[in-house]
Amino acid sequence: MQPIEIPAAAPAPLRLPRPLEGLRRLAYNLYWTWHPEIRVLFSRIDPDGWARYRNPIPVLEGVRDWSGLLEDTNFLADYQTYLAGFDGYIANGAGHWFAKRHGGELGGPIAYFCAEYGLHESVGVYSGGLGVLAGDHCKTASDMALPFVAVGLLYRHGYFRQTIDADGHQEHAYPDHDPARLPLLRVVNGDGQPLVVPVELPGRSVVAAVWLAQVGRVPLLLLDTDVGENEPPDRPITHQLYVRGREMRLHQEIVLGVGGVRALRALGIRPSAWHLNEGHSAFMLVERARELTSMGVPQEAALEQVRRDAIFTIHTPVSAGNERFDASLTRRLAAPLVAGSGLDLERVLELGCGIEGDTDVFDMTAFSLRLTQGVNAVSQLHATTANSTWQGVPRSAILGITNGVHTPTWLGRPIRALFAGLGARLDAMSDEAAGVRFWERLDELPDRVLWEAHQRQKLELAIFARGRLLRQLARHGEAPETLEALSRVLDPDVLTIGFARRFATYKRAALLFSDEERLARLLWDTDRPMQVVFAGKAHPADRPGQRVIQDIFERSRSPRLLGRVFILEDYDMRVARHLVQGVDVWLNNPRRPLEASGTSGMKAAANGAVNCSVLDGWWDEGWTGTNGWAIGGRETNPDEAAQDWADAQDLYRILEQELVPRYYERDADGLPRAWIEMMKASMSTTMWRFSTTRMLEEYVEQLYLPAALAGDAAAAPPAPKRAVARAG
């Protein structure tokens, strides 16, 4: 299948000298987000600009004099080498896994819908784990040359930027993203005019502009209602990710689902299968059924045809993570969409009835389960939980396809260099699986070489965190002496534990503080000290989660823990990379079985960190007994307080009796041989098994190809006239 080409133009021209014209191709393709050598190339153009923006578009816009770079032979040689590598990557997918294994089996691409995408910190259309997984999914689809097109929303105000004030309160500020200064292109129609697609809402038709984020070989279409054709009250629909207001949230999800289908139709893209990543995009199914009934297909036959080639990934067993809307609100907002189509809105609402049988609620998860032929949970344990939770909803059996991570995005450069020495091809891990499996050759790495690479990444974390803490505490008005002391914190020779994730209460971020006196003894042991770094956000509406942040901040400033416990504000992908690359131990202690999967521990393991986690989510199947530690067991106590106490006691036992002693046990050469052995076990047992490459192979063979076979992409209806994109 030929690569999907989306007609698009830059919103503002970049003026580049002819010999460096290829920088435009490199800048407007997010391939650079998982190729550090290209990020370094951009930073060499303008170090200050790169440090400020971490985004090549404003860097290139800001250059006034190119003469120095045009005379720099080293820069020019690197530029030509990297550009040739990029062009070769884009042009040739024939040698990769999908083409070799399943070439010709799809008549069209997989259409993937998600509410958020975590591609890089500079592209702020994500909040956390769901978005980062979606971004990793797209990058891996590109690496595997899978025919794939993704759809989401362009949030001009993104997700909130977090600050923590001097009292530990989380404060929220929303950025203002200018699409013209992001690596985005404006999609155009056949006449070369900006493309917009209409979405009917009560009393008016809202239009959405379509932007293109090119992710290697994969196009990601982002819909944007902040355009001049819309009335002022409608322009903010797509402004803010996970907006608190329920009515505005439903507007967003209608635009995502309905507008996404119409954008694909307007571009002539006929998917072989449709993938809903979480229930936020469930109105995609409504729109597809509306199309068919508008052409005269009977309603039940239309619903069955939609179901046949649609798949759904469910991500959370936590009630708050499943979207539900008042049925009367849904009825009011959705009525214009189905008017005159032959699709009965009451039938749609019936399909969205939740497991409690409450007809006053439209449950997006229940609706998606009923109207898709393949469903998966995101770990094996989660599949068990999800099948039990949703047993009252008629559906396909929920498969377990465990999440993974896009390894090239998350590896630190020192560890990455070691893998390169083993012949690793990080962009082609599926091909490695059939040939040289570098993750099975880690014993070839000399212990000292691996340890030195890890220590280098710890130093990078320390330097980064010190700078963040300095700015944070300076804003609080701390004295110069206090700020000066920050230059000495996070000693790389001290055992370092990381804990970073969304601060939902079930994740029990404060479990480590259950016995503060016992913790303090561990932290300040003269011969075997320990330090802990926290990071994470709580949703602006989640007051209990915000209180957890305040509690940890106050403890980090207390006399007993000051200098050994730290909390970094504004958790984003950059903070996450430093943490997973630089800590010795990744701590995770949710209440089992409420962690559907989790992926941060996978990223840490790929970098040689050792997981210490409750047997929940991915770790329930990832723990081997020799690659990390399991907190507690697989039995759960319905008394949450008792379970919390038992898990805290086991965590302290592990730290005191096993983990800390092993880390500080050194041989005559000063190396912690037993610890390094565990590092290698952590890497070798997780690198492939918990990669998005393995994950996507399973999606293709267990879900995508069966859905494509069951459906008939050639029979997809043409876009009705009212859904045809028009010029902006």
Query: Any idea what DSSP says for residue 661?
Result: H
Q: What is the CATH number of domain 447-690?
A: 3.40.50.2000
Determine whether 621 is exposed, middle or buried from the number of CB atoms within 10 Å of its CB (0-12, 13-18, 19+).
middle
Res 356: pLDDT? 77
> Cα dist. 172→236, 466, 504, 573 in Å?
18, 22, 17, 18
E strand or H helix that includes residue 338: helix 327-338
**What CA dihedral angle connects 473, 477, 482 and 484, to 10 degrees?**
70
Other CB atoms within 10 Å distance of the CB of residue 501? 22
What are the phi and psi torsion angles at 597 (to 5°)? -145, -65
- Asked whether 620 and 634 are in contact (CB, 8 A), the reply is yes
Count the alpha carbons within 13 Å of 45 in the hemisphere toward its beta carbon. Answer: 29
Distance CA 537, CA 170 (A): 8
Res 562: pLDDT? 97
Give the closest residue to 170 by CA, choosing from 179, 178, 160.
160
Distance CA 331, CA 201 (A): 11
Cβ neighbours of residue 615 under 8 Å, at least 6 residues apart?
592, 623, 630, 631, 632, 633, 634
Res 574: pLDDT? 98
Q: What is the pTM of this model?
A: 0.95
Res 720: pLDDT? 45
Res 22: pLDDT? 97
SS3 of 162-205: the string is EEECCCCCEEEECCCCCHHHCCCEEEECCCCCEEEEEEEECCEE
Res 156: pLDDT? 97
User: Which residues in the chain come in under a pLDDT of 70?
Assistant: 1, 319-320, 432-436, 712-728
Cβ neighbours of residue 515 under 8 Å, at least 6 residues apart?
648, 652
| DSSP character string of 196-229 | EEEEEETTEEEEEEEEEEEETTEEEEEEE--STT
Indicate the fold that domain 108-162+169-404+694-723 takes in CATH: Rossmann fold (3.40.50)
Distance CA 360, CA 246 (A): 15
Is there a shared CATH topology between the 108-162+169-404+694-723 domain and the 447-690 domain? yes
Cβ neighbours of residue 273 under 8 Å, at least 6 residues apart?
106, 110, 111, 309, 310, 311, 703, 704, 707, 708, 711
- Asked whether 691 and 156 are in contact (CB, 8 A), the reply is no
Domain ranges for the chain, please list them.
8-91, 108-162+169-404+694-723, 447-690
Distance CA 43, CA 525 (A): 42
Rg (CA), the chain: 25
What letter represents residue 400's amino acid? G
Distance CA 120, CA 476 (A): 29
> What tokens does 431 get?
């091909």
| DSSP character string of 122-166 | TS----SHHHHHHHHHHHHHHHTT--EEEEEE--TT-SPEEEE-T
Give the closest residue to 609 by CA, choosing from 415, 386, 446.
415
